[in-house]
Structure 1
């Protein structure tokens, strides 16, 4: 006794149209929420300084070249580490407790070299640090 009846006209099949519809909706959602920002091509426009600050005659001037060389008051420093720069700054500011350091960095100098001077100023105990800018022309 076989109670099962087989119909030949009712074949089982998977309907792919709803599956494709769901996948297309997911694809559209992912494409709409994805960001295509490239951070390495970001253009930065630095601000210009318009205020003229009085130039202090007893300020220490340190210059940073594009190649990463440092000059303190016109004298080239032999070392390029933060410790070497800190030692030179401490020697130059030993009799001035309120010494002011003015950083003259080249426009193409690296961010690292400017931060190295700022770290050296902290190590030397110089708390007043200014940046030299040029006025817009």
Structure 2
């Protein structure tokens, strides 16, 4: 009788079930873990009592009305031409060209009127030019 030699099969290590089990454990741990906010600090910050702004500071404010009229620091001009507006701004500013220059234009004022004020301010050498806006109240659109 002839005996057969047993065949030895090569050993394979299948990692797929082990990876599936590890992923399942990882998902389970992530779902069941509660995240606490221990790193968040509760701070009570001090309030600053700053110096109130100096209302006496000289500034140039040009108001542009809806009909194209100009007011320079609250004084109305007799006409809307460029020469009179330039003269009124020169008179209000004197020789100081570093004063804050604010343009407060009505929403219905023409774009040309606002650009004309900006152009005159540039010609006179003002560098601190601001356009004033209104901050809407909550609940309004």
Could you tell me how far 1:133 is from its partner in structure 2?
0.6
C-alpha distance in 1 between matches for 2:123 and 2:83: 8
Give the aligned CA root-mean-square deviation in angstroms: 1.9
| Deviation by residue 1:54-81 (Cα, 9 ceiling, x = unmatched) | 7873211110100000001110012312
- 1:124 maps onto 2:94 in alignment: no
Distance 2:68 2:85 in 1: 12
Q: Is 1:75 the equivalent of 2:75?
A: yes
CA distance 1:66–1:58, change in 2 (3 Å): same
| 1:82-108 C-alpha deviation (Å, 9 max, x unpaired) | 222122111211142311210110010
The corresponding residue for 2:94 is: 94
For structure 1, the residue ranges without an aligned partner over 5 or more in a row are 1-53
Contact 1:86 1:123 in 2 (8 A): no
Unaligned runs of 5+ in 2: 1-52
Matched-pair contact (CA < 8 Å) for 1:82–1:119: no
Kept in 1: contact 2:103–2:131 (CA 8 A): yes
**CA offset digits 1:11-41 (Å, max 9, x no partner):** xxxxxxxxxxxxxxxxxxxxxxxxxxxxxxx
Instruction: Determine the structure 2 residue equivalent to 1:66.
Output: 66
Does the C-alpha gap of structure 1 residues 67 and 129 become closer, same or farther in structure 2, counting only changes over 3 Å? same
Classify 1:76/1:116 alpha carbon distance in 2 versus 1 (closer, same or farther; 3 Å): same
Could you tell which deviates more after superposition, 119-128 or 68-77?
119-128
Which structure has the bigger radius of gyration?
Answer: 2
Partner Cα separation in structure 2 for residue 122 and residue 108 of structure 1: 23
TM-score of the aligned structures, taking structure 1 as reference length: 0.55
Structure 1 residue 115: deviation in Å? 0.4
**4+ residue stretches of structure 1 with deviation over 3 A?**
54-57
